[in-house]
Amino acid sequence: MTEQSITPDLPTAPGGIAVVTGAGGGIGGAIVTELARAGYTVAACDLNVEAAQRALTEAGTDKGGAYRVDVSDSAGVAEVVTAIEHDLGPIRVLVNNAGIDKIEPFVDSTEETWRRIVDVNYLGTVIVTRSVLDHMIARSYGRIVNIASDAGRVGSSGEVVYSGTKGAVIAFGKALARETATQNITVNTVCPGPTDTPLLDQVAQQSQKRYDALSRAVPMKRIGTPADISPAVSFFAHPNAGYVTGQTLSVSGGLTMA
């Protein structure tokens, strides 16, 4: 009798559990809404659990749950991942969206600031991914979407260490995509361009002239909104995007064409 390989029962439509970190922010909230509308049950994770709950409420969903998590705390992340799987079910989609920055010249920045930005933006992505990956491997299915930034592709003055961490997130996603490609686990990266978030407000507060120049530089002649970013995440999260992995997609109104 010839041994036959067992093909895993793969999903064919959106659904199941999606974890979104940084869910309480502007882009995070838009991603929560997009995924909930697509049919996912969303675990909204944020250091500010009230903001995460608000994102679920604004998404108009009574499914899912809000979880407090510091993505730089590996033990805490592991506990939350276990709680999500216990409360909601197997995690199919992970969106690593949590991120921080402080806009200032590099020569004025401090080591304390550098370390916190690296801990959240890069190591946070690594920690959360590692915490869900064994579950995805065991089920031979997963969609991992990292939110980086066009600053990680072309650099951004006033965001030197931030740019470095986002470049690292892009490289991390490409390398992990190679390791998981045969296990029905895809890893892709979305890079927002200038987007109307509290981070961009820092630019306007420091220099309205620079903010206005950013808007003029975009071929579409406007700053992006969080709702402009979230459909790209939904695409990478879809079961039918299973042959797309290791990719980096800029959502920037044409500002970055690479």
Summarize the confidence of residues 117-122 as an average pLDDT. Answer: 98
How large is the average pLDDT for residues 25-51? Answer: 97
- Looking at the chain, the whole-number percentage of residues with pLDDT higher than 70 is 91
CA 14 to chain centroid: 18
What is the average per-residue pLDDT within 113-140? 98
Reply yes or no on whether the pLDDT at 206 is more than 70.
Answer: no
**What average pLDDT score do residues 55-83 get?**
97
Radius of gyration of the chain (CA): 18
d(CA 255, CA 250): 9
Q: What's the pLDDT score for residue 207?
A: 62
User: What is the reported pLDDT for 23?
Assistant: 98
> CB within 8 A of 169, min separation 6: which ones?
96, 121, 122, 125, 146, 147, 148, 152, 189
What pTM value is reported for the model? Answer: 0.92
pLDDT at 167 over 90: yes
Active site members: 162
| pLDDT score for 3 | 43
Instruction: Check residues 154 and 199 and name the one with the higher pLDDT.
Output: 154
Query: Do 127 and 72 touch, CB atoms closer than 8 A?
Result: yes
Sign of the dihedral defined by the CA atoms of residues 20, 21, 23, 26, in that order = negative
Instruction: Report the distance separating Cα 93 and Cα 15, nearest Å.
Output: 9
Of 97, 124, 126, the residue nearest 19 (C-alpha): 97
What is the reported pLDDT for 5? 44
Task: Specify the pLDDT at position 223.
Answer: 87
